[in-house]
């Protein structure tokens, strides 16, 4: 199967799911807010397909996360009825089996944000920034953590601006004062697991893994930067010094 056909096999079912769940969501305005970032992400992926084509693995992971997000946007993350679905299938609630006392769909998706998207982020770093060794695992983890923090700030700003029922639905904290911190921690844990699994595979398959790792941590330039670099640029011919 060609790469384009594989992407179509992901895009078509996602489009069907998105359209089905766009019909009569629980809170239309919250659905619109939740889909704003998704729309931007889809546009970026479409526009960059020819110039920066990701691997099948990365597109599959992104597809899975988008599906989870689409379900959360339809119901709001705090009200996805996974417990009712599980009870209808098994006769027991999932929360009772897991020992949960709240709707934890949002927690699962935050964990999956790190677990599913850290690898595509790693691919971006490898191919654009040409990072190697340690930095090829740390930087995806770092970016996942920082973007998770930015999203929590975005949620806070949206809740503060819109307020009322829309702000509460979008925030989805369910009364937990540590909701943002727990969400960020779970995203970080997911990314850490993803990078750990990736490193484990590479340790087994990549013959020069240890050498590349060591080389990535070697100091490349012993000269200091900062004020010394600025002074050097100011002394360079053609540079203004005043």
**Distance in angstroms (rounded) separating the CA atoms of residues 105 and 83:** 10
Q: Nearest Cα to 54, choosing from 140, 136, 117?
A: 117
> How many domains does the chain contain in total?
1
Query: What is the residue range of 120's domain?
Result: 3-219
Q: Are 106 and 56 in contact (CB under 8 A)?
A: no
| Residue 235: inside a domain | no
Q: Nearest Cα to 28, choosing from 77, 66, 74?
A: 74
| Residue 92: inside a domain | yes
| Residue 237: inside a domain | no
| Residue 180: inside a domain | yes
| Residue 232: inside a domain | no
Q: Are 148 and 185 in contact (CB under 8 A)?
A: no
| Residue 31: inside a domain | yes
**Distance in angstroms (rounded) separating the CA atoms of residues 12 and 19:** 11
| Residue 35: inside a domain | yes
What is the full per-residue pLDDT of the chain (242 aa) written as tens digits? 899 999 999 999 999 999 999 999 988 888 998 898 899 999 999 999 999 999 999 999 999 999 999 999 999 888 899 989 999 999 888 988 888 888 889 999 999 999 999 999 999 999 999 999 999 999 999 999 999 988 888 777 777 776 666 655 555 566 667 778 888 999 999 999 999 999 999 999 999 999 999 999 999 888 778 887 788 788 876 555 44
| Residue 25: inside a domain | yes
pTM over 0.85: yes
């Amino acid at each position: 199967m060609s790469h384009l056909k594989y992407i179509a096999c992901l895009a078509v079912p996602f489009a069907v799911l998105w359209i089905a769940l766009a019909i009569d969501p629980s809170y239309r305005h919250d659905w619109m807010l939740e889909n704003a970032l998704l729309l931007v992400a889809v546009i970026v992926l479409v526009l960059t397909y020819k110039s920066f084509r990701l691997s099948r693995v990365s597109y599959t992971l992104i597809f899975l996360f988008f599906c989870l997000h689409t379900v959360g946007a339809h119901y709001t993350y705090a009200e996805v009825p996974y417990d009712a679905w599980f009870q209808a299938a098994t006769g027991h609630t999932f929360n009772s089996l897991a020992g949960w006392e709240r709707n934890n769909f949002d927690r699962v998706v935050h964990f999956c944000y790190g677990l599913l998207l850290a690898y595509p982020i790693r691919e971006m770093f490898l191919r654009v920034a040409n990072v190697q060794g340690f930095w090829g695992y740390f930087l995806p983890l770092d970016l996942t953590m920082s973007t998770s923090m930015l999203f929590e700030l975005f949620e806070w700003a949206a809740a503060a601006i819109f307020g009322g029922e829309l702000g509460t639905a979008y925030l989805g904290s369910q009364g937990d004062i540590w909701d943002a911190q727990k969400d960020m921690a779970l995203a970080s844990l997911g990314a850490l697991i993803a990078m750990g699994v990736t490193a484990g595979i590479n340790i087994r398959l990549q013959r020069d893994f240890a050498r590349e790792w060591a080389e990535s941590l070697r100091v490349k330039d012993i000269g200091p930067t900062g004020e010394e670099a600025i002074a050097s640029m100011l002394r360079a011919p053609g540079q203004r010094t005043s």
